[in-house]
Amino acid sequence: MPAVQVPTSLLAMIDASVGGKTGVDTPAGKNLVGAFHPPRVVLADPRVIATLPVAERAQGLVEAVKHGAIRDRAYLDDVSAAVPGVLGRAATEGRGTAGPEGAPPPPDLDAVQRVVAGSVRIKAEVVSADEREGGLRKILNFGHTLGHALEAASGYGIGHGAAVALGMVLEARLGEALGVTRPGTAADLAKTLGALDIPLTLPPGVDLAAVEGYLGRDKKARSGRPEFVLLEDLGRVAYDEDWARPVPPEAVREVLTTAAEAAPQGGS
């Protein structure tokens, strides 16, 4: 059946509408049922971003940060520069034209177009080289292995973008702990993501045992062991016989435990 994608969110424009994946969430985890079915055409109008709340735009920008982190450091810098425009901060700070009272601040459409074009370019390059995710396409899962587990363990109380943002930082810390990732990469990534005003700490009450359980059921897990995409540095994914690799469970547990200890505690 021919399909046409008409994405109306930033997240869909730069990620979900490119690549042909059709996934369905199940009680056991995210995207566990699906198929590859590329659309005939994708029609994206950046002007609809003006209708989105700022927080929703920020969720989409997380995927743009991911694209730069795995493939193109210069594009990552471009995304950082575009953040104020996409979120409409120029308008709220008196440097642009404000929207109607009560409406989300209007974005800078040039900034939106730069982000959409840059992310679509990167994802299209990766997907065209590996449509069925047998190799290179695995790098698009950076931040998603832990991110999906955190989403599920929270009962989907964490938004996708927020979960992936935290997942990227934690997976960068994991890479540093294993000696794969340049020290300081996680901190640099957290600084970039911090501009989106998305919390990068575990929410109170998330059960780490549940997170580990969902990791074992991840669609990318082999024999119950999840595989992780680890950075070499910002803009480069480490390759060791494959683009994703299993890591010692105790290393994952240590990263999660440290994050839980640093998380704000919920009130009574």
Enclosing domain of residue 222: 4-262
Rounded to whole angstroms, the Cα distance separating 145 from 216 reads: 10
Any domain includes 221? yes
Any domain includes 254? yes
What pLDDT is attached to residue 146? 97
Task: Give Cβ neighbours of residue 240 (< 8 Å, ≥ 6 apart).
Answer: none
Any domain includes 224? yes
Nearest 5°: phi and psi at 41?
-155, 150
Rounded to whole angstroms, the Cα distance separating 5 from 100 reads: 29
Q: What is the pLDDT along the chain (268 residues), one digit of tens a residue?
A: 788 889 999 999 998 888 666 666 666 665 566 677 778 888 999 999 999 999 999 999 999 999 999 999 999 999 999 999 999 986 555 544 455 666 899 999 999 999 999 999 999 999 999 888 889 999 999 999 999 999 999 998 899 999 999 999 999 999 999 999 999 999 999 999 999 999 999 988 889 999 999 998 887 777 778 999 999 999 999 998 899 999 999 999 999 999 998 877 654 3
Within 10 Å of residue 17's Cβ, how many Cβ atoms?
20
Any domain includes 27? yes
What pLDDT is attached to residue 268? 39
Any domain includes 267? no
**DSSP letter for each residue of 91-122:** HHTTSS---STTSPPPP-HHHHHHHHHHHHHH
Any domain includes 72? yes
- Are the C-beta atoms of residues 151 and 158 closer than 8 Å to each other? yes
What CATH number corresponds to the domain at position 18? Answer: 1.20.1090.10
Rounded to whole angstroms, the Cα distance separating 57 from 161 reads: 10
Task: Look at the chain and report how many structural domains it folds into.
Answer: 1
Any domain includes 202? yes
Q: Where are the beta strands (DSSP E) in the chain?
A: 4-5, 21-26, 29-36, 41-42, 227-228, 231-233, 236-237, 245-246
Rounded to whole angstroms, the Cα distance separating 14 from 197 reads: 20
What pLDDT is attached to residue 267? 47
CA distances 260 to 142, 152, 173, 205, 232, Å, are 21, 16, 14, 9, 25
- Token pair in block for residue 95: 């440097």
Through-space distance between the first and last CA atoms of the chain, rounded to whole angstroms? 53
Any domain includes 268? no
What pLDDT is attached to residue 134? 87
